[in-house]
Structure 1
Amino acid sequence: MARKLAALVQENNLYKEQTAQLNETFRMVRSERHDFLKHVSAIHFMLENRHPDEAKAYLDELVDDYKETNLSIKGERGVVAGILHQMYRRAQTAGVAVVYDFDLPISTLPFPDPEMVKLLGNLLSNSIDASESWQKKHKGSALITLQFYKRSGLYVLICQNNSLPIPTSILDGLFQTYGKTTKGEGHEGLGTKIIQEAVDKHHGFLDFVYKNEEFTVKIKFPAIQ
């Protein structure tokens, strides 16, 4: 009961956090739209004064900034956009590369917002934590990839990240029971079980593989529910 209560508290805190991040994401979008004409004026001024190299450099930097926001919100409904954008920025701050490879928006999944928060929030948060630990040991750059596509009547969500070696005793019950964690002391091991519960609730199937210091989670959901 204590673990279930802790899980509910974590879910509530996560949902509040993602709501705040959603507000921040759309504040950023509004800010970018507000400043758009200023950027156009600056580029126009450079071109009129025959500074094409400066204009190109300015435009390249501007496109990179817009690309980061667009990557997260394109075709997604609000809560999903907020999660993807916030996790992308969190990973960047930690020096972890993130690749979103979507054939269609994740919002296509027929999940209510709280379920999307639980699934994506825990999945990406765990990946970032594992990647940060891997980077600290190897002094290299970690990579997280999140794929989403539809094949043969199934929605397929795949998350892959670098990870330090995981003991077999942890792997055996990683998504089945509370208290199993790859993060060491100070973590309650709630995230993976919450992911599994969200998968089960929507009649999905979860599989994971750990090989050569890479951890891969593959989740399949029926396209017709």
Structure 2
Amino acid sequence: MNKNFNIYANKAIRIIVVINLIQVILVTGLITVYLLRDNLSFLPINSFDLLLISLVSISLINNFLVLKDIRVVRDLSLQNNMKSISLQNISELNNVLRAQRHDFLNHLQVVYSLIELNEYTEASNYIETVYKDIIKVNRSLKTSNAAINALLQAKLVDCENKDILVELHIDTRLENLIVPDWEMCRVLGNLIDNAIDAVKESKEKGFINIEIVEIDSNYVFTIRNSGKSIPKEMLDSIFEPGYTTKRNRGEGMGLAITKKITQKYNGKITVDSNQSVTTFSVYIPSE
């Protein structure tokens, strides 16, 4: 469904652009004819002026509406993509939870058998291993927003697969979050992905710290990472569209989009970087 929607949306945009170009060509032709009107004896000047003004006015109004529609279609397409990603993350998290529930009885049977055999040390080690697996999932299930929980779980798994030490601290349920989940996931996804890229560029084993708290009527989302620092002269430019520090990788739109979404809901984003850690903080009003 998501793929079909994107196909139709892209076709609609292309058709609209083509129609718009045809109108521009027609208006250009009319203006050219108007400039050469003295040579046109078959059409009264007054009638031609009226026709030209009418067509140009209609074309300008239509162009404005078309551009507005293109923006709406693109926003809907982007929103659909983000919701599709969120649903995929939720589905994967649900599968993990179902697997844990399915294995729970088996774990109990193993522990019971080890205790019955007086293998207390083995039972303790087994419980500790199982407990760590459960904690890995449960630490991301602390907010009331399923999409954000699923995103955080997906990023934790990604960090683990890339051998990045990650710490997650959540001290709020985000019950009054005014940002739609698909946009908040976009903000967090951009910042965490940037942190992962920064850590991977470093030759040393790095870390990422993700913190979500509520302070002074604001939800504060903080992402810290080790790795190469951002030069001070670049800090004011990293939120500009097209600006990137990834050389040949990336389009430089992630932070610009993150700032735009944050400001859209009367929030703000800050950045601080030194030789040991880079910190991005997003503040969203909770009231």
2:174/2:219 contact within 8 Å kept: no
1:160 to 224, 234, 245: 224
**Aligned partners of 1:10 and 1:188: how far apart in 2?**
16
Map of 2:280 onto structure 1: 217
Partner letter of residue 213 of structure 2? Y
1:130/1:164 contact within 8 Å kept: yes
Answering whether residue 268 of structure 2 is matched by residue 208 of structure 1, we say no
Answering whether residue 137 of structure 2 is matched by residue 69 of structure 1, we say yes
How many residue pairs get aligned? The number is 216
Which structure's CA Rg is the greater one?
2
Partner letter of residue 145 of structure 1? N
Map of 1:50 onto structure 2: 118
1:97/1:144 contact within 8 Å kept: yes
Worse-matched range after superposition: 98-107 or 195-204: 98-107
**Aligned partners of 1:11 and 1:122: how far apart in 2?**
15
**Aligned partners of 1:25 and 1:107: how far apart in 2?**
20
Higher helix fraction (1 or 2)? 2
Any idea what SS the aligned residue of 1:172 has?
Answer: coil
Any idea what SS the aligned residue of 1:54 has?
Answer: helix
Structure showing greater relative contact order (alpha-carbon pairs closer than 8 Å, 6 or more residues apart): 1
Higher strand fraction (1 or 2)? 1
For 1:134-178, what per-residue CA distance to the aligned partner results, in whole angstroms no more than 9, with x for missing partners?
2xx3xx221111112222222222111113243456432111x22
**Aligned partners of 2:179 and 2:284: how far apart in 1?**
11
Map of 2:61 onto structure 1: none
1:80/1:107 contact within 8 Å kept: no
Map of 2:95 onto structure 1: 27
Partner letter of residue 182 of structure 1? T
1:148/1:156 contact within 8 Å kept: yes
Map of 1:115 onto structure 2: 183
CA, structure 1 residues 75+148, in 2 after alignment: closer, same or farther (shift >3 Å)? Answer: closer
**Aligned partners of 2:174 and 2:168: how far apart in 1?**
11
Matches within 5 A, 1:38-187: 38-106=106-174, 108-134=176-202, 137=203, 140-168=204-232, 170-175=234-239, 177-187=240-250
Give structure 1 stretches of 5+ with no counterpart.
none
Give structure 2 stretches of 5+ with no counterpart.
1-66
Q: CA RMSD in A?
A: 2.3
Task: Please state how far the C-alpha of 1:76 moved relative to its aligned partner.
Answer: 3.7
Map of 1:192 onto structure 2: 255
1:123/1:159 contact within 8 Å kept: yes
Output the TM-score relative to the length of structure 2. 0.69
